[in-house]
Amino acid sequence: MFELSGMANKSLGSAKKEKNDEYYTQLTDIENELRHYSNQLKGKVIFCNCDDPFESNFFKYFAMNFNRLGLKKLIVTCYNPSPIAGSQLALFDIKPSVKKGMNKNSKHSYKIEITEVKDYDGNGSTNLDDVEYLLKHGGNALTLLNGDGDFRSEESIALLKQADVVVTNPPFSMLIEYMDQLVRYKKNFIIVGSLHSLHYKEIFELIRSNKLWLGHKPTGTDMLFDVPEDYAAELVKTKKEGSSYKIIDGKVMGRAAVIWYTNFDVVKRHEILYLYKKYTPEEYPKYDNLDAIEVNQAINIPENYHGYMGVFDSFLDKYNPDQFELIGIPTGNSGKEIGVTKNYRGRTDISLTRNGKTSCPYSRIIIQRKRKI
């Protein structure tokens, strides 16, 4: 279990107020990533533990592709205080039926467990209509949870223990605790996280120690998300169109720089990055307060340099752990640990002086070549 950093604690404390915890993933983005894992998902029990099945495209994806993927079981649970539960972004023209013990005016936490999806409409394949039929008529596929569906609850952890693979977009503000739990229970996972989260001390440490890595989607492509109506209105009022949101067919979609984290093997982790450039002090300036050079693109990593190098997040798209070692994040306490001294602002963030101008390069990762490749 992690010692949570100050930032993480703050994040956890304010989790319920984080608006970007309510970014709902589009089906096309799920399809684009998950199509790479078909072999790894075959015969597996899948758990989506932050997903209202009536709204979540993760549920939709797995239910519709249940037979094609050859899944053993799909378990989906939702979180009681979800602001849109059973309301705005409904996938189906049905609501969870009120069962004994449910107060029909309150939001409920429930679970769906599916072990088969049949071709109920007899059209030769399983589709959304079959999933809808299953939800309407599927016996005990839908049951009430005793608690609120928090992924940390005993009830949810009991389901986690049954699962082989966890796939979802969890609340961004709880990612550290969320990943910690997955790693502790030794589960396979395919999880959406913010790009920035790889700079969290705890998450970076997991990447560094080969417990998780980036999935197939490149770091440079953003994703658009469905957002609750009140947040959409707030985005339009307070943020810039194009960077924080886009309007697609009249609908406001939240925009975020995100990545997929997984611990399933991905091919790109084994590809060698061929290096052509030669090191010169002019082209690769050193930081003012760390013995490392600034490299502007992974393909420009000099083949004859074996010291520390500062690279952009996009390096992780090319990261092969046999070829490179991740050293650390050059900011704050993490920076101190790898030798960053105070910069001109009195902070332990790397600074760089070029053409007489000093600035703090934002968002770098410090890496080093491994000698053997």
Ligand X SMILES: C[S@@+](CC[C@H](N)C(=O)[O-])C[C@H]1O[C@@H](n2cnc3c(N)ncnc32)[C@H](O)[C@@H]1O
Binding residues for ligand X (CB under 6 A): 21-25, 50-51, 56-58, 79, 82, 149-151, 168-171
Nearer to ligand X, 191 or 206 (CB): 191
Nearer to ligand X, 150 or 294 (CB): 150
Nearer to ligand X, 170 or 328 (CB): 170
Nearer to ligand X, 58 or 66 (CB): 58
Least distance in Å: CB of 151 to ligand X?
A: 4
Nearer to ligand X, 229 or 291 (CB): 229
Least distance in Å: CB of 238 to ligand X?
A: 20
> Rounded to an integer, what distance in angstroms lies between the CA atom of residue 160 and that of residue 326?
30
Nearer to ligand X, 135 or 227 (CB): 227
Terminal alpha carbon distance of the chain: 34
Least distance in Å: CB of 251 to ligand X?
A: 15
Least distance in Å: CB of 365 to ligand X?
A: 25
Least distance in Å: CB of 82 to ligand X?
A: 3
Integer-rounded Cα radius of gyration of the chain: 23
Q: Which of 52, 45, 50 is nearest to 75 (CA)?
A: 45
Structure tokens at 129: 């209509």
- Provide the strand spans (E) within the chain: 24-25, 45-48, 73-77, 110-114, 142-144, 165-168, 188-194, 213-214, 223-226, 245-248, 251-256, 258-262, 292-294, 308-311, 324-328, 352-354, 357-359, 365-369
Give me the phi and psi of 193, to 5 degrees please.
-140, 160
Structure tokens at 274: 């061929």
Contact 90, 55 (CB under 8 A): yes
Least distance in Å: CB of 256 to ligand X?
A: 9
